[in-house]
Structure 1
Amino acid sequence: MGERPGRRHGPGPVTAPTDGPTLAGTFDAVLFDLDGVLVDSEALAAGVWVRTLAEHGLPLALNDFAHLAVGQTFPNVLVRLADLHGWTPTDAFLPILEDRFNAAFDTLDAIDGARDTLRGLRDRGVPFAVGSNSERGRLHMKLASAGLAGLVGTHAYDPSWVGGRGKPEPDLYAFAAAQLGADITRCVVVEDSVPGATAGVRAGATVIGLLATGHAHPDDAAHLHAAGVRHVVTSHAQLQHLLGLPTATP
């Protein structure tokens, strides 16, 4: 979902060290996921979900919630909760969850190096956009709170732009590319979840997996590769190198 839970830290294969080959010259635009790629919101979101669910009759361990929710849209999380646990929200649940999300995301950090990546693309004249499963208001709140809104500008898109068809459907990334005037097959998508990576691959983009938050499970990189991700990196410094940008100090 747009607001994804945290995941356990662990090693994983890295296929793009900062002294290896780059993708420079092979792409015309870059499309970013938000949560876990540009902003470190996953642990905050997990805490809000788990605490609010427990208060409304569904106590879940953090890892159990992570397993069912990672990379899903908000409506899909509710569907999975119903399917797996027979639980449906009360009338009070959603307003409380909304208020707590808004409070939690009022102060949010950009992931280390994210600003440098966006500035590097801007300075090179490479267009970029954000495509996120987050609800539109929270998408813009997170960008502003993390100090990234000025860099992203108007090119921040959520599923409401494409009739609610969020990731893993390809529509959101295809739409974002079109808004930049770019051919999706000449775009790089940067993702940290299998549903998001699947969306990028299905849209026809080259997908880079970024596991930079310290919440990655040891199997995450392998799962991303299995979804069709071309390269997996663990920092924005590695991502910058892969994109052919000047690499900031990690």
Structure 2
Amino acid sequence: MTTTTPSSPIAAVIFDWAGTLVDFGSLAPTQIFVDAFASFGIEVTLAQARGPMGLSKRDHIRSLLAEPAIAGQWQARFGQPADEADIDALYQRFMPMQIAKVGEYSQPIAGATTTLGWLRQRGIKVGSCSGYPRQVMDVLLPQAARAGIAPDCVIAGDELPAGGRPGPYMALANVLALAAGDVRRCVKVDDTAPGIEEGRRAGMWCVGVSLSGNEVGLEAAALQALPASERAALRSTAEARLRAAGAHYLIDSVAELPAVLAHIEQAIRDGLHP
């Protein structure tokens, strides 16, 4: 943990992982949901798989099974609605597939390591949480660390008895672990609506990440290859969803975060609260 003398009124910044710090486009989880359901003979589109992103993976599966189109397929194939045992079976199928794939998507998003360095220079503590379960994070973390992504705290999606997003629990677990002191001086950075809701419920400033995250869901090269008008339309749609979830600020990617944090620092000095 950093020991730099604090020079910022911000106590801590708490990041999501896929689509925020690593894995531009949040690609690692999405196809695995499609593949896991396909192994049970159920067709799930990439768009459907992205819908509940940000939830813990078991809750994500539960949410997908509640989708009418997917629930109807399950009923037709198995003769009854999906129950907890079916959720468990899908989760057990999903987990080894996700563990095998997550390392392929551990590359930092451009600007992430620079932003983390900027935070540490200012004495701001760096937390993180993820919808990934601990088994998946245990694969991702060492690879990300070798690339320069090593937060002071990591909370996985299956670690807390209270549950995960959109509840505030993982964000608040970071506050406790980091001894951040005041949630009003903490910032949550996330590319999903449940992750923004998490930060709002925890009483934090919230920054939504649009282009690099789940709401757009494209690799950096594929996004850059689009005409400017298409990128602008994708940004606008993503921003609308994140704003509706409660984001105070919006950025394209983590590379733009320091400029936004400067505004939040001034707001705190002016006595404003999230």
TM over 0.5: yes
TM-score by length of 2: 0.72
Residue in structure 1 matching 2:44, options 60, 82, 92: 60
- Deviation of 1:81 after TM superposition, in Å, equals 3.0
Does residue 209 of the first structure (1) align with residue 208 of the second (2)?
A: yes
Query: Which residue in the other structure is 1:119 paired with?
Result: 117
Structure with bigger RCO (C-alpha 8 Å, 6+ apart): 1
Is the partner of 1:52 in helix, strand or coil?
helix
TM-score by length of 1: 0.78
* Cα distance in structure 1, aligned partners of 2:247 and 2:30: 25
Does residue 200 of the first structure (1) align with residue 208 of the second (2)?
A: no
* Cα distance in structure 2, aligned partners of 1:52 and 1:233: 32
Query: Which residue in the other structure is 1:185 paired with?
Result: 184
Gaps of 5+ in 1: 1-23, 246-250
- Deviation of 1:212 after TM superposition, in Å, equals 4.0
Displaced runs of 4+ in structure 1, greater than 4 A? Answer: 90-93, 148-151
- Deviation of 1:160 after TM superposition, in Å, equals 4.0
Query: Which residue in the other structure is 2:260 paired with?
Result: 242
Query: Which residue in the other structure is 2:79 paired with?
Result: none
Q: How many residues align?
A: 221
* Deviations, residues 4-35 of structure 1 (Å, cap 9, x unaligned): xxxxxxxxxxxxxxxxxxxx944221111111
Query: Which residue in the other structure is 1:8 paired with?
Result: none
* Deviations, residues 78-115 of structure 1 (Å, cap 9, x unaligned): 22233223334487644442221111112321111111
Contact preservation (8 Å) 1:209, 1:233: yes
* Cα distance in structure 2, aligned partners of 1:152 and 1:126: 14
Larger Rg: 2
Is the partner of 1:189 in helix, strand or coil?
strand
- Deviation of 1:244 after TM superposition, in Å, equals 3.8
Greater share of residues in helix: 2
Query: Which residue in the other structure is 1:36 paired with?
Result: 19
Does residue 110 of the first structure (1) align with residue 108 of the second (2)?
A: yes
Q: Which amino acid aligns with 2:237?
A: D
* Deviations, residues 150-192 of structure 1 (Å, cap 9, x unaligned): 6535510124443151010011111211211111111011011
* Cα distance in structure 1, aligned partners of 2:93 and 2:154: 26
Contact preservation (8 Å) 1:30, 1:126: yes
Is the partner of 1:190 in helix, strand or coil?
strand
* Cα distance in structure 2, aligned partners of 1:190 and 1:40: 15
* Cα distance in structure 2, aligned partners of 1:51 and 1:151: 28
Query: Which residue in the other structure is 1:248 paired with?
Result: none
Relative to 1, partners in 2 of residues 1:221 and 1:148: Cα closer, same or farther, differing over 3 Å?
farther
Alignment of 1:75-94 (within 5 A): 75-84=58-67, 85-86=70-71, 87=74, 88=82, 89=86, 93-94=90-91
Query: Which residue in the other structure is 1:162 paired with?
Result: 160
Query: Which residue in the other structure is 1:9 paired with?
Result: none
* Cα distance in structure 1, aligned partners of 2:248 and 2:258: 15
Gaps of 5+ in 2: 1-6, 75-81, 217-233, 264-274
* Cα distance in structure 1, aligned partners of 2:87 and 2:152: 35
Q: Which amino acid aligns with 2:32?
A: V
Is the partner of 1:146 in helix, strand or coil?
helix
Relative to 1, partners in 2 of residues 1:214 and 1:153: Cα closer, same or farther, differing over 3 Å?
closer
Percent of aligned positions with the same letter in both sequences? 28
Is the partner of 2:258 in helix, strand or coil?
helix
Q: Which amino acid aligns with 2:186?
A: C
